[in-house]
Amino acid sequence: MTANTSLQKAEKLEIEKYKIPKDLRSLSKTHVPYTGSPQKHPLDPERIILLPDPYNQKSPYLEFIKNDVTHVEKLANIVNLEGATVSMVRIWVKKGSIAIQCTPFKVTAM
């Protein structure tokens, strides 16, 4: 088996730019904002995961369908004591959309 060392054409990554809403008040009538650190879903590319508190191991996370997110605002990054940074965003999700909220818990004997 031989390794291919020649240059190959890279596929274009299509990124759709979100349009800035003209009026946030009108957006708040039809959408709900959620703030956190966005992550790729490990199994479904049509979903995103939002970590409201990315440095907290016991924090719940939220899962949304990408098509239900209408607008994204980039917020300031947060930094932990070791200097690692995490990007934060505010996403606006259509009211009535189905989402998942997962809350971790410790299993103990009763």
Query: pTM for the full model?
Result: 0.73
Rounded to whole angstroms, how far apart are CA atoms 89 and 87? 7
> How many domains does the chain fold into?
1
15 part of a folded domain: no
The answer to whether 22 touches 83, Cβ cutoff 8 Å, is no
110 part of a folded domain: no
Flag whether pLDDT at 90 surpasses 90: yes
14 part of a folded domain: no
91 part of a folded domain: yes
68 Cβ neighbours under 8 A, 6+ residues apart: 93, 94, 97, 99
Write out pLDDT tens, residues 7-60.
555 444 454 555 566 667 778 889 999 999 999 999 999 999 999 998 888 889
pLDDT attached to residue 64:
96
- Range of the structural domain that residue 63 is part of: 24-102
Q: What are phi and psi of 72, to 5 degrees?
A: -130, 130
9 part of a folded domain: no
59 part of a folded domain: yes
38 part of a folded domain: yes
107 part of a folded domain: no
